[in-house]
């Protein structure tokens, strides 16, 4: 597949095109897929957006910057950028995943977008990857407030009590590649405080954070 149009849309030309092809390879295609790149791309995006928010809001405290960053890197925003790039049409996936709407599934597109950022980082370094984020991401005022952002709410709750940021761990991963269900648990200082499931790790983490918030508030009300 010719990826030159996608490179033009990204504003980046790959020295190693195989990295971009791997970033666009869904897990339904087998062991050689974009999941490892997705892991790295999440960190690249977090750092890029942290830098953008930090510089744009010198007056903001940590909690406010954390909340704003969460809006800018959540699945809906990633998916919007991926659709702007028509990322779905370039992806490699098996026939079953394609028939079930995989090319436009939000979790698939969001994961692929993170993987593409990782591919750019590995090919050319942090600066071109960060430039893609600065160029292609919507402005703050263009990003709607999330209906619920349990992860941010949980982090702010724990910080208000003097605790460090929570830690998320994948406890289970079930189902075929194109219909996976993830179970995530959230921990506070090594102790599990909530667990949830969803069709992507991000959704499962949100569910786990929601369960933790409910449990913590019930415990607080019972004091």
- Residues with a known catalytic role: 42, 114
- The closest of 108, 83, 76 to 93, measured between CA atoms, is 108
Q: Where would I find the H helices in 139-191?
A: 150-160
Cβ neighbours of residue 115 closer than 8 Å, sequence gap 6 or more: 22, 23, 24, 34, 35, 37, 38, 41
Longest CA span, the chain: 62
Nearest of 45, 173, 36, 181 to residue 107 by alpha carbon:
181
The closest of 128, 118, 105 to 20, measured between CA atoms, is 118
Structural contact between residues 188 and 208, judged by C-beta atoms closer than 8 angstroms: no
- What secondary structure does DSSP assign to 30-93, as a single string? -SSSSHHHHHHHHHHHHHHHHHHHHHH-TT--HHHHHHHHHHHHSHHHHHHHHHHTTHHHH-B-
List the strands of the sheet with 191-198, edge to edge: 167-174, 181-188, 191-198
H-helix or E-strand spanning residue 216: helix 201-221
């Amino acid at each position: 597949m010719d990826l030159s149009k996608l490179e033009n849309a990204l504003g980046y030309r790959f020295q190693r095109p195989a990295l971009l092809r791997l970033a666009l390879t869904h897990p339904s295609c087998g062991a050689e897929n974009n999941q490892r790149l997705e892991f790295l791309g999440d960190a690249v995006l977090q750092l890029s957006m942290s830098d953008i928010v930090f510089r744009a809001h010198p007056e903001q405290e940590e909690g406010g910057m954390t909340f704003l960053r969460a809006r800018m890197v959540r699945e809906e925003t990633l998916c919007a950028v991926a659709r702007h790039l028509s990322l779905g049409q370039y992806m490699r996936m098996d026939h079953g995943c394609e028939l079930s709407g995989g090319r436009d599934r939000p979790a698939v597109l969001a994961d692929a977008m993170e993987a593409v950022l990782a591919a750019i980082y590995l090919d050319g370094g942090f600066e071109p990857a960060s430039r893609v984020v600065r160029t292609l991401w919507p402005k703050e005022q263009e990003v709607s407030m999330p209906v619920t952002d349990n992860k941010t709410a949980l982090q702010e709750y724990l910080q208000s009590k003097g605790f460090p940021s929570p830690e998320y761990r994948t406890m289970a991963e079930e189902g075929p590649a194109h219909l996976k269900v993830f179970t995530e648990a959230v921990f506070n200082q090594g102790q599990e405080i909530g667990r949830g499931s969803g069709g992507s790790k991000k959704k499962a983490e949100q569910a786990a954070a929601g369960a933790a918030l409910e449990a913590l508030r019930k415990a607080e009300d019972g004091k």
